[in-house]
C-alpha cells in the first residue's frame, strides 16, 4: 500500500512528508508570533531545542499527544496546525477542494503563507499585542485597516 507509506512518515525519497512540514511550519509560526525561542518551547515540552527544530522542519513527526501539548503551550486549538493547508495536502485528508472547512483556506487564495512568515509581519503582530489597553489596540487596528485598500464585499 504505497499511499499509506507516503502518508505515514517520510516520502519514498527520504524527504519529510509535506503534511509534517506544514504542521512544523505552523508550530514555528506560532512560536515566533509569541516571541518564544526554540529553547523555551523545548523546556515547556520537556524537549531539547534540537527536537523542536526537527518538528519545525517536519523531519520528526508530531504525535497526537505532543500536538495536544503544543496546542496547550502555544495557546492555540489543535486545528491551528492544519489551518491554511494547500488543497493538494488537504485532499490527502480526504477533504474535497470545494468542501473545505472555513479554517482550511488555501494559502494561494489568501497569500497567508508568505505574508505570515515575513519578519515584518511577526514584529507587527508582536508590537500590536504589546498594547495592553484594548480600546487603544482597537483604534490602532482600525487605523491600519483604513490605510489599506477597501475590502471587496
136 shares its domain with 61: no
Q: What is the pLDDT of residue 15?
A: 83
In this predicted structure, the answer to whether residue 107 has a pLDDT above a threshold of 50 is: no
| Domain encompassing residue 125 | 119-153
The residue among 104 and 36 whose pLDDT is bigger is 36
Residue 117 dihedral angles phi and psi, to the nearest 5°? -90, 0
Answer positive or negative: Cα dihedral of 80, 81, 87, 90: negative
Maximum Cα–Cα distance for the chain, whole Å?
Answer: 56
Q: What is the pLDDT of residue 85?
A: 82
Q: What is the pLDDT of residue 65?
A: 96
138 shares its domain with 151: yes
In this predicted structure, the answer to whether residue 4 has a pLDDT above a threshold of 90 is: no
12, three cell numbers: 519514498
In this predicted structure, the answer to whether residue 143 has a pLDDT above a threshold of 80 is: yes
Question: What is the average pLDDT across 72-98?
Answer: 77
111 shares its domain with 123: no
141, three cell numbers: 487596528
In this predicted structure, the answer to whether residue 104 has a pLDDT above a threshold of 80 is: no
CATH number of the domain that 34 lies in? 1.10.260.40
12 shares its domain with 62: yes
Q: How sure is the predictor about 87, in pLDDT bands with cuts at 50, 70 and 90? A: confident
Q: What is the pLDDT of residue 117?
A: 65
123 shares its domain with 105: no
14 shares its domain with 68: yes
Q: How sure is the predictor about 125, in pLDDT bands with cuts at 50, 70 and 90? A: confident
In this predicted structure, the answer to whether residue 118 has a pLDDT above a threshold of 80 is: no
In this prediction the pTM is 0.62
Question: What is the average pLDDT across 89-108?
Answer: 51
65 shares its domain with 114: yes
126 shares its domain with 67: no
Q: How sure is the predictor about 34, in pLDDT bands with cuts at 50, 70 and 90? A: confident
62 shares its domain with 15: yes
In this predicted structure, the answer to whether residue 89 has a pLDDT above a threshold of 80 is: no
Question: 102 with 79: CB under 8 angstroms?
Answer: no
44 shares its domain with 85: yes
Number of structural domains the chain divides into: 2
Amino acid at each position: 500500500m504505497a499511499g499509506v507509506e507516503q502518508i505515514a512518515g517520510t516520502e519514498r525519497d527520504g524527504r519529510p512528508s509535506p503534511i509534517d512540514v506544514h504542521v512544523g511550519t505552523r508550530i514555528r509560526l506560532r512560536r515566533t508570533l509569541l516571541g518564544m525561542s526554540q529553547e523555551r518551547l523545548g523546556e515547556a515540552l520537556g524537549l531539547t531545542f534540537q527536537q523542536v527544530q526537527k518538528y519545525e522542519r517536519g523531519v520528526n513527526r508530531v504525535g497526537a499527544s505532543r500536538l495536544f501539548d503544543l496546542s496547550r503551550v502555544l495557546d492555540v486549538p489543535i486545528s491551528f496546525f492544519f489551518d491554511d493547508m494547500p488543497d493538494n495536502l488537504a485532499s490527502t485528508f480526504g477533504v474535497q477542494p470545494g468542501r473545505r472547512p472555513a479554517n482550511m483556506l488555501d494559502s494561494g487564495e489568501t497569500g497567508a503563507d508568505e505574508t505570515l512568515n515575513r519578519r515584518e509581519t511577526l514584529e507587527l503582530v508582536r508590537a500590536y499585542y504589546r498594547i495592553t489597553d484594548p480600546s487603544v489596540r482597537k483604534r490602532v487596528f482600525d487605523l491600519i485597516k483604513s490605510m489599506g485598500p477597501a475590502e471587496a464585499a
